[in-house]
Amino acid sequence: MAVNESYRSGGTAQLGVPARRAESTPGNVRRMGEVAASVRQDAITPEYFIAHFYEYLPRYIAGGAPTADTRDTYELAIRLFLHWCMEQGLHPLNDVHDYQIRVYMEEMRTRGYSAATLMIKGAAIRAFYKVAERLSFIAENPCADLQLRNPQHLDEDYKYLTVDQIKEICEGLAADKNALRRLRNLLIVYLMGVEGLRVVEVMRLSDEDIDWQRGRIEIRGKGHAGIIYPCEETFQLLKAYIETRGAIPPEKRLTPTIISCSPNNRNGRITRVGIRYVINKALTDAGLKQPGYACHLFRHSCGTNLYQETKDLRVVQETLRQRSPKVTAKYAHVHDRMENRVTRGITPGVSVEAVQGESTAATRENK
Q: Which pLDDT belongs to residue 2? A: 43
Q: In terms of CATH, what superfamily is 163-334?
A: Intergrase catalytic core (1.10.443.10)
**How high does pLDDT run on average in the chain?**
85
Per-position DSSP letters for 318-358, written without gaps between them = HHHT-S-HHHHHHHHHHHHHHHH-GGGGG-----HHHHHHH
Predicted local confidence at residue 359, as pLDDT: 59
Q: Are strands 210-211 and 216-219 parallel, antiparallel or unpaired?
A: antiparallel
Query: Is the predicted pLDDT of residue 178 greater than 90, yes or no?
Result: yes
Task: Give the number of residues written for the chain.
Answer: 367
Q: What is the pLDDT of residue 186?
A: 98
Q: How many CA atoms lie within 13 A of 334 on its CB side?
A: 21
CA-CA-CA-CA dihedral for 211, 169, 225, 73, to nearest 10: 150
The pLDDT of residue 364: 62
Average pLDDT over residues 43-61: 93
Q: What is the pLDDT of residue 24?
A: 43
3-state secondary structure 195-248: CCCCHHHHHHCEHHHEECCCCEEEECCCCCCEEECCCHHHHHHHHHHHHHHCCC
Using the predicted structure, report yes or no on whether residue 149 has a pLDDT greater than 90. Answer: no
Could you read off the pLDDT of 2-23 as tens digits, one per residue? Answer: 444 445 444 444 445 565 655 4
CA pair distance 165, 230, nearest whole angstrom: 20
Share of the chain above pLDDT 90, in %: 61
Please state the pTM of the whole predicted model.
0.69
Res. 355: pLDDT tops 90: no
Buried b (16+ CB within 10 A) or exposed e, 305-332: bbbbeeeebeebbebbbbeeeeebebbb
Q: Residue 43: which region, alpha, beta or left (left: phi > 0; alpha: psi -120 to 50)?
A: alpha
Residue type, 292: G
pLDDT digits (tens, 9 = 90+) for 65-108: 888 888 999 999 999 999 999 999 999 999 999 999 999 999 99
Contact 251/233 with Cβ under 8 angstroms? no
Question: In the predicted model, what is the mean pLDDT of residues 329-349?
Answer: 80
Largest Cα separation within the chain, whole Å, is 95
What pLDDT band is residue 271 in, cutting at 50, 70 and 90?
very high
Report H helices in the chain: 46-51, 68-88, 98-110, 115-134, 163-173, 179-189, 199-204, 232-245, 272-285, 296-310, 313-320, 325-340, 352-366
Torsional sign, CA 63, 68, 71, 77? negative
- Domain ranges in the chain are 46-135, 163-334
* Signed CA dihedral, 66, 71, 77, 83: sign only: positive
Please state, in angstroms and rounded to a whole number, the distance separating the CA atoms of residues 255 and 272.
17
> Rounded distance, CA 171 to CA 288, Å?
13
CATH of domain 46-135: 1.10.150
For residues 299 and 320, the answer to whether their CB atoms sit within 8 Å is yes
3-state SS class at 254? strand
pLDDT at 339 over 90: no
Helices 179-189, 272-285: crossing angle, 10 deg rounding: 90
H/E run at residue 112: none
282 within 8 A of 274, measured Cβ to Cβ: no
Task: Examine the pLDDT at 40 and tell me if it is beyond 70.
Answer: yes
Q: What's the pLDDT score for residue 12? A: 44
Q: What is the pLDDT of residues 102-144, one digit of tens each?
A: 999 999 999 988 888 899 999 999 999 999 999 999 999 999 9
